[in-house]
Structure 1
Amino acid sequence: MNEVRYQLELADLAGHYLDVQLELMPQDDAVVLFTLPAWIPGSYMIRDFARHLLDIRAQDQTGPLILQQTDKQSWQLQHQGLPVTVRYRLYAFDLSVRANYLSADIAVINPAACCLQVVGQQHLPHLVEVRRGQAPQHWQLATGLPRAAETSPLQFGFYRAANYAQLIDCPLLAGKLDVASFVIDNVPHHLVLAGAVATDVQRIAADLLPLCQAQKQVFGALPADLDEYWFLTWVVDQGYGGLEHRNSTLLLCNRFDLPNPRLPAEYSEDYQNFLALCSHEYFHTWWVKRARPTPYLDYQLQAEQYSTQLWLYEGFTSYYDDLSLLRTGILTLEQYLTGLAKTISRLQRAPANLRQSLADSSFNAWTRFYRQDENAVNAVVSYYAKGALLAFCLDAELQQQNLGLDGLMQLCWQQYGQGETGSGEDTFFRLLLQYSQSDALVKKVRLWVEEVAALPLAEAASALGLELNWRQPEHHQDQSGDKALALPSMEPGFHYEVKPEGLLLTAVRNGTAAHRAGFSAGDVLIAVGQLKATEQTLRQMLLRAVPGDVLCCHLFRQQRLVQLNLLLEAAPETVAVLKALSQRTRWPGVIWSLQSAE
């Protein structure tokens, strides 16, 4: 046996159990080591998938063998040189794109979260048999794993991976599937929906086609080894997210994010957000799955694996996801600028923007960005959001030299992406110098990345034919829009959720009136100015106040009644307003007019 074999059986849908059988031929070592990844590539957080593993046992033709667990996710086996079978059961009820989920309606399988790695045999071919088990006969199966010759498309059966790395990079989606396909440069692309309500799957595929072509245009061509691509879409009542894979993506969306088949020309905001998610994950086909940081050329999935470059890979992808929607006309200019302004506003309002660098945010993603708490607004800058705005500023700088970010992306792809040689800490800056011939620009971008630095957003906007202005927020969720406020705004400086008992404070921004008054996340505000604390009451009290007024607040803290006096201050101008100044644009592929920007 010169391969590793798995059986994955949907054994107990009601109990959410996946049965796994692993067959292997031990090699020369006296001990076989097995380990399950602690994290999945693309999601930088230790998830300890092995905590869901149950009833593990091993045997050969002579009988049971002794498996000894050596740590939270690893086992070792003394063998007799005979073929070995390992069996175990996995609990699969994680409603996310990173793990496993089994129910009476759907099965989502991530091999990284369920297939033990045989240490020393990762390079061998891996054969996977997916068994229907309790799944209904009408269920189909979609995956980017190559089918064995005896398995029909969209069917349970045998699939082959060249090695363990390919196996864990191919999620599987099973259930009642709706499928539509399109072709780009002779490469079939498949949109698969599982769990959807009435929608128009052909219309979604038709919208994805130009979007994918726009992404391809950035890099010049599809990856040479891409022979098919799968948009595996898990449709739920409440959920949103995506995870990139080499020839597929696993997406999670709300069912009513998808278009209404009775409104074939409508692009609702929710549907635009879904297409932006597809755009983001498809861009990763080049930019993360092939062009990636050097540490991720060989994933070590038993512990954290650090990089300071996530701003480059996730941030630049975030810049292009909406820009591609603008280039294809899915977003109007006004809609695009509104979304960009929201990103700028969120960054401007977060004290963390002037506390954490992009390099530090990337490096500490494992314990900060992916483990955010009530102090995140003060401590964690998003390498997605600020990285996207850095790309916006860099694009503007390059456009002023009659260049552009697209050209730099193509150079990166040609130099280390298509050959998958990886980017070291200085690779991007070296290629930026080669492309721009500007030491000053490289120095500027290094400052944006490595120091706690404000980005030159107004200058970048101007260079691209835009104007960036600022105004006060009307309330704590106000992030965009060109509004003429009737009255100056007061802003206390806390975030909250509306609860039956009052307003639950979820965060307090450093340096604000609420911070100075002693408010804390977890407080439940029950009265403001002798009135019951509701969202409407708080807003009206703030509208009627002027700077220097004191608002008497009562709250519960750990079940204890507390009174605090909030000395009100004028809200700073943190809401970005972006407008087009003229008919010119330096963005390749984007045409606008003053009329469309009104």
Structure 2
Amino acid sequence: MLYVLNLRQKNYNMLLKRIGIGLLMLIAPALVAKAQIKVNYEVSFKEPQAHYVHVNMQVDGLTKEYIDVKMPVWAPGSYLIREFSRNVEGFIATSGKTVLKTEKLKKNTWRVYTGKSSTIAIDYNVYAFEVSVRTPFIDATHAFISPTAIFMYPDNHLALSSTVKVIPFEGWGKVSTGLEPVKGQKFTYIAKNYDILFDSPIEVGNQEVFEFTAAGVKHEVAMYGGGNYNAERLKVDMAKVVEQATAIYGENPNKHYTFIVHNFQRGGGGLEHLNSTVLGASRNGYGTENGYKGFLSLVAHEYHHLWNVKRLRPVALGPFDYENENYTTDLWIAEGFTAYYENKLMLRAGLTTPEEFVATLTSSMSDVINTPGGYEQSAAMSSFDAWIKYYRPNENSNNSSISYYSKGEIVGMLMDLEIAHATQGKSSLDDVMKAMYEQCKTKGRGYTDAEFKAKAEQISGISLTDFWAKYVNGTDTVDYKKYLGFAGISVKDAGKKAAYLGVASRPAEGHVLITAISRNSAAWVDGLNVGDEVISIDDVTAAPSISSMAVVRTKKVGEVIRVRIIRDGIDQEIKVTLKASPNVDLVSSMDPASTASEKAVFKRWTGV
């Protein structure tokens, strides 16, 4: 009987071996064909003054009669379909001197018929003239390459490696990027796959470059546009931020890191990348303490993304689908918590005081409480609807939505205090973030909302179901006295419940135009509209800021004002009964008589 069983097992093993060899023979040609494909890009600037970049895309190792190439429709980190292909011009494919047949299949896809050639060249131009950290910009002074808006990719081949050779325009001499350089080839870089290529912006021109080392990592700062910054001071203070961020997670995952900073007359914003970031700044803003600290806060925010978003990320955010929306309900963690941590990093780096830290968060909490849309949209839905709401605001957005940045910042603070209080100062949100970072590394994927909640509950030792219901999936008013009280901080509302009209306005062509109306305000209830031209209030000529007019400020709640407007060319008068202001103006103070427990929470919360 044993002999028969062994014989059957032997025959079974032989069968498996034959099946395996057969499958390998079937799969191998496809694997070889895929492995043989090579992609090389050459980027040049024939007409930078006209805002064009020329891309030459060489594709080798083709075996099919055609290849489809695609342009991404959005840039990771900026959750909006931007339709980058709309800026593509002059698409042409060749094999040697032969022009190949091409066909545009849809908005971002071109089919190239190879004519049985194994090697083809695809040339196209991209118009780039939008100033932002997420879109390419080219002029006579420099070129900023935002890769998802510049580079096409072979369909179904996102795992391919590629090289990028940059040919700077005449007079330009520097290239700054997080991409790995190819040894012995000037301004030539390699990306192991398209996720890396698309996550590696490139600055070309004559930018000032300085370096510093922090957390064992070399950091390059590329400054375009000049400015009144002090490079030596920035080296020291940026290094402090890097060290404090690394301390939270216990390691810095990069070999090198690149800051690309665009200094304009008025600039702002940032976009995170795998081992780099792009920052917008005001070139003369470094000269004031507020301006300087504002820039360092931006540095802290984007650098924290090195972990939170790029590696510690919601499961939907990678591997990316570059053609469609990538929905997640967790941007309040990915972006909101990062907005919160920029404050903690500034404090721990010694760049702000504990009093400033508390005051900043208290002010942010006031803003969230005073946003009517926060009672209509939860943090989770704000995240999910980012694709249709956050980057497409209108005159009613303040009434219908809440920013996942601002709401997430406050939820992060509340959760941090809840954990520190529950553990008597032994743990904080830092421990959750580090544990989730390790989990994402171990599992090789992002987290779900349930997994993040479970980890926070594990570390805090309490149920957070009620917390999630109120502040993540719900729209409850923030219980600021309770949570800040955990750390021995007193908070009171210093706002005056004065008469309140509830409009925002601006001057426009000699008139005063209503630009926004707050939900349930007097203006909302009695029928003033966005777009109304206000001529006068109680026969007093309208001022650009209607709400600050004495004729409004000196009224009492319940009094009626006469607002003369022009709507659609018709002169009319609307009577408005003033209501009490619903807004809060929170003021915080640290209680000198706080308990030992409160002091322990404060210490763990702030880290100082």
Common fold: TM-score over 0.5: yes
CA contact (8 A) 1:290 1:420 kept: no
Structure 1 residue aligned with 2:477: 454
**Matches of 1:141 and 1:416 in 2, distance apart?**
33
Report the counterpart of residue 272 of structure 2 in structure 1: 244
Structure 2 CA distance, aligned partners of 1:405 and 1:573? 29
Using the alignment, how far apart are the partners of 2:582 and 2:517 within structure 1?
A: 15
Gapped regions of structure 1 (runs ≥ 5) = 261-266, 474-487, 593-598
2:154 match? 118
User: 1:332 offset after TM fit, Å?
Assistant: 2.5
Q: How does 1:310-329 map to 2 (within 5 A)?
A: 310-329=331-350
1:465 match: 488
- Give yes or no for contact 2:269–2:281 (8 Å, CA) kept in 1: yes
Partner Cα distance (1:215, 1:272) in 2: 17
The CA deviation at 1:41 is 0.4
Distance 1:495 1:164, change over 3 A: same
- Equivalent of 2:297 in 254, 269, 276: 276
Q: Does 1:410 align with 2:426?
A: no
1:146 is aligned to: 180
Q: Is the 8 A contact 2:495 2:586 kept in 1?
A: no
1:511 aligns with 2:520: yes
Which of residues 557, 560, 568 is equivalent to 1:558? 568
Are the equivalent residues in 2 in contact too, given 1:353–1:452 (CA < 8 A)?
yes
Give the 3-state SS of the residue equivalent to 1:428 in structure 2. helix
State the partner residue of 1:431: 455
Pick one of 580, 585, 588 that aligns with 1:578. Answer: 588
The alignment partner of 1:426 has SS state of helix
Give SS of 1:364's match. helix
Structure 1 range deviating more: 556-565 or 59-68: 556-565
Q: Distance in 2 between matches of 1:436 and 1:333?
A: 24
Separation (CA, whole Å) in 2 of partners of 1:368 and 1:574 = 26
- Show the counterpart of 1:253: 281
| Structure-2 separation of matches of 1:30 and 1:108 | 35
2 CA distance for matches of 1:335 and 1:443? 30
Q: Could you tell me how far 1:333 is from its partner in structure 2?
A: 3.2
Q: Is the Cα contact below 8 Å between 1:178 and 1:201 reproduced in 2?
A: no
Label 1:120 to 1:516 Cα distance change in 2 as closer, same or farther (>3 A).
closer
Instruction: For 1:65-84, list aligned pairs within 5 A.
Output: 65-79=100-114, 80-84=116-120
Q: Cα distance, 1:589 vs. partner?
A: 7.7
Report how far residue 507 of structure 1 moved: 1.1
Shift of 1:516: 1.0
CA offset at residue 239 of structure 1? 2.2
**CA–CA separation in structure 1 for the residues paired with 2:119 and 2:188:** 20
Rg bigger for which structure?
A: 2
Contact 1:142–1:192, Cα closer than 8 Å, also in 2: yes
Deviation of 1:567 after TM superposition, in Å, equals: 1.1
Alignment deviations for residues 480-507 of structure 1 (CA, whole Å, 9 cap, x no partner): xxxxxxxx63221112224452332221
Aligned length: 562
**By percentage of residues, which structure has more helix?**
2
Q: Is the contact made by 1:472 and 1:572 (CA closer than 8 Å) also made in structure 2?
A: no
> How far did residue 197 of structure 1 move?
2.3
Give the structure 1 partner of residue 8 of structure 2. none
Post-superposition shift, 1:535? 4.2
Alpha-carbon contact 1:471-1:573 (below 8 Å) kept:
no
Distance 2:566 2:269 in 1: 35
Pairwise CA distance, 1:344: 1.4
Q: How does 1:526-537 map to 2 (within 5 A)?
A: 526-535=535-544
TM-score normalised according to structure 2 size: 0.89
Corresponding position of 1:476: none
Q: Distance in 2 between matches of 1:151 and 1:553?
A: 70
One-letter amino acid of the structure 1 residue matched with residue 323 of structure 2 = Q
Tell me which residue corresponds to 1:482. none
**Quick one: structure 1 residues 336 and 496, their matched pair in 2 at CA, closer, same or farther if it must change by over 3 Å?**
farther
Q: 3-state DSSP class of the match of 1:345?
A: helix
Q: Map residues 465-504 of structure 1 onto 2, 5 A cutoff.
A: 465-472=488-495, 489-499=498-508, 501-504=510-513
Q: In the alignment, does 2:558 pair up with 1:542?
A: no
Aligned residue for 1:295, secondary structure, equals coil
Q: How does 1:8-47 map to 2 (within 5 A)?
A: 8-47=43-82
Task: Indicate the residue corresponding to 2:23 in structure 1.
Answer: none
Q: Residues 345-356 of structure 1 correspond to what in structure 2 (within 5 A)?
A: 345-356=366-377
2:99 alignment partner AA: P
Report the alpha carbon displacement of residue 89 of structure 1 after superposing the two structures with TM. 0.6
Q: Distance in 1 between matches of 2:442 and 2:275?
A: 15
1:421 aligns with 2:445: yes
Cα distance change of structure 1 residues 587 and 11 upon mapping to structure 2, 3 Å threshold = farther
The answer (yes or no) to whether the contact 2:37–2:62 under 8 Å persists in 1 is: no
* 1:95-494 mapped onto 2 (5 Å cutoff): 95-133=131-169, 135-137=170-172, 139-151=173-185, 157-223=187-253, 226-258=254-286, 260=287, 268-400=289-421, 401=423, 402=425, 403-417=427-441, 420-439=444-463, 441-472=464-495, 489-494=498-503
Matched residue type, 1:586: F
Give aligned-pair identity as a percent. 27
Q: Separation in 2 of the partners of 1:565 and 1:203?
A: 57
Give the partner amino acid of 1:323.
Answer: K
